[in-house]
Amino acid sequence: AAVPQLSLDRLRESGTPPTRLWALTQLFAQTLLTMSAGEHEDLLFTKRDNVGPEMSRGMAERKSGSEFALFTGAAAILATDDPAVIEEYTAFGLCLGTASQICSDVGDIWGEGMSRDLLNARRTLPIVHALSTLRGEDRGRIQDLLAAAREAAGYQDEVRTLLTAAGSLHYTALVVEVYRGRARDC
């Protein structure tokens, strides 16, 4: 939490105009609040079964997208006074950061070794998609497997199989491509 203030003070010492320092101060404050809200949601979602894909994407935007938006927006603020350019760079960072977070979530589930997200009952986008898509016995089965995967890693392969069968990997890849396309457009 101290790094932004120290960074801003160094920028002040190096002659950064006060208007840019004020814009950076506001950006840091707003972004740190947004990122904290995203982290808080991530923790709350582990206790809920009624999280939908929109909520999961929004959480990823707040948690990680806003972090990248901070980086790109701060650089733009230091480079220009043009609000449109600053807005475009900030939007680029938001989209790129969100896509990166969702890719990280996919990598955690389908990557090598044990999934920490499955062990910690994280409601990442692939899991949320499956829970919102599957019905009846299949939904009950994945809920049981998700609970079992918290206790023993041996159930994780079955979870992956059901997530794939539910189309969650494909859906998640499409969502990532949408964010990447938006980032390219910016």
Alpha carbon distance 173, 175 (integer Å): 5
Q: Which amino acid is at 170?
A: H
pLDDT over 80 at 1, yes or no: no
Residues above pLDDT 70, as percent of the chain: 99
Across 83-110, average pLDDT: 97
Residues above pLDDT 90, as percent of the chain: 82
pLDDT tens digits, 53-88: 999 999 999 999 999 999 999 999 999 999 999 999
Task: Write the Ramachandran bin of 136: left for phi over 0, alpha for psi from -120 to 50, otherwise beta.
Answer: left
How does residue 48 score in pLDDT terms, banded at 50, 70 and 90? confident
Beta strands in 30-179 (DSSP E): none
C-alpha torsion angle, residues 166, 179, 96, 117 (rounded to 10): -20
- Note the pTM of the prediction, 2 decimals: 0.90
Across 177-182, average pLDDT: 98
pLDDT over 90 at 125, yes or no: yes
Q: What is the DSSP letter of 38?
A: H
pLDDT tens digits, 158-177: 999 999 999 999 999 999 99
